[in-house]
Amino acid sequence: MHQLDLDIRSRLLMAHLPAMPQILLKLMEQCQADEAGMGVLAELIAKDPGMSCKVLGVANSSAYHRGGARVGLEKSLTTIGMDMIKTLVISESVFQVFNGFTHSNNTDLRSFWKHSLYAAVMARGIAEKIGYPNVEEAYLAGMLHDVGRLALLAAATKEYAFLFFARDDENLCVIEQSMLNMTHCEAGAWLVERWNMDSFLADSLRYHHEPVVRIETAHPLVRIVLLAHLVSLHAENDPTVNEAVLMCGIQAADLERIIEASHSKVEQFASLLGIDLSGADDLTVPTAGWEIAGLLAKMNEGNESTAPTPVRESDGQQVQDKAQKLLVEEVRNTVLSSELARSFSRQQGGEAALIETIARSARILFDLENVVILRMNDSGEALVGVPVGEHQQRLKEFSIALAGDGIIARTVLQRRISFIARGADQQSIAESQLFRVLDSESLVCLPLSSWPQCQGVLIGGIAAWQVPVLQNRERFLKSFGEQAASHIQATTAKAEKISLQVDSAAEEYRDASRRVVHEANNSLSIIKNYLGVLDSKLGKHELAGSELSILHEEIGRVGQIIRGFVDPEPSVRASVADVNRVVREVIHLFRESKSVPASVKIAVQTLETPSEVAVSVASLKQILVNLVKNSIEAMPAGGEIQVLNNGHVNHDGLLYIELCIRDNGPGITPRILEVIFSPGQTTKQGEHRGLGLSIVHDLVKQSQGLITCRSSPTGTAFEILLPIHKHS
For the chain, how big is the Rg over CA atoms in Å? 43
pLDDT of residue 355: 84
Pinpoint the alpha helices (H) of 194-281. Answer: 201-206, 220-233, 239-248, 252-273
The amino acid sitting at 78 is: T
The answer as to whether 337 is a domain residue is: no
Ranges of the chain with pLDDT below 70? 1-6, 13-16, 32-36, 61-71, 83-84, 86-88, 90-107, 235-237, 279-343, 345-349, 364, 389-392, 495, 509, 512-574, 593, 680-690, 727-728
Residue 548 lies in a domain: yes
In one letter, which amino acid is 15?
A
- Judgement on whether residues 517 and 655 belong to the same structural domain of the protein: no
Range of the domain at 273: 3-317
- Supply the pLDDT for residue 294: 44
For the chain, give the longest Cα–Cα distance.
142
- Is 437:372 a contact under the CB 8 Å cutoff? yes
The count of other CB atoms within 10 Å of the CB of residue 98 is 10
Q: What pairs with residue 457 in β-bridges?
A: 374, 447
Residue 586, domain member (yes or no): yes
pLDDT of the residue at 352:
80
| Residue 43 and residue 112 in one domain | yes
288 and 186: one domain? yes
Please check whether residues 178 and 256 belong to one and the same domain: yes
Same domain (yes/no): 664, 687: yes
Asked whether residue 333 is assigned to any structural domain, the reply reads: no
Look up residue 506 and give its amino acid: A
Shared domain check, 26 and 142? yes
Torsion, Cα 43 45 46 47, to 10 degrees, reads 100
Together in a domain, 69 and 184: yes
Assess whether 498 and 619 both reside in one domain.
Answer: no
Give the CATH number, domain containing residue 227.
1.10.3210.10
182 plus 236 within the same structural domain: yes
Whether the Cβ atoms of residue 154 and residue 191 lie closer than 8 Å to each other: no
Assigned domain for 335 exists:
no
Which CATH number do you get for residue 551? 3.30.450.40
Count of domains forming the chain: 3
**Quick count: other Cβ atoms within 10 Å of Cβ 551?**
18
Rounded distance, CA 356 to CA 484, Å? Answer: 11
Please state whether beta strands 639-651 and 600-605 pair in parallel, antiparallel, or not at all (unpaired): parallel
From CA 17, how far away is CA 99, in angstroms rounded?
11
- Decide if 728 contacts 580 (C-beta within 8 A): no
User: Do residue 104 and residue 139 come from a single domain?
Assistant: yes
- CA pair distance 35, 480, nearest whole angstrom: 19
> Does the residue 338 lie in any domain?
no
* Same domain as 229, residue 127: yes
> Is 322 domain-assigned?
no
Q: Tell me: do 283 and 374 sit in the same domain.
A: no
> Which of 317, 336, 357 marks a domain boundary?
317
323 occurs within a structural domain: no
Q: What is the CATH number of the domain that holds 646?
A: 3.30.565.10
Last residue of a domain, one of 279, 295, 317: 317
Q: Which residues, other chains included, contact 444 with Cβ-Cβ below 8 Å and sequence gap of 6+?
A: 366, 368, 417, 418, 419, 459, 460, 462, 467, 470, 477
Nearest to 438 by CA among 368, 357, 338: 368
Q: Which of 552, 569, 586 delimits the end of a domain? A: 569
List Cβ neighbours of 606 (8 Å cut-off, separation of 6 or more): 579, 580, 583, 584, 645
Close Cβ partners of 158 (under 8 Å, ≥ 6 residues apart): none
Strand, coil or helix: 683: coil
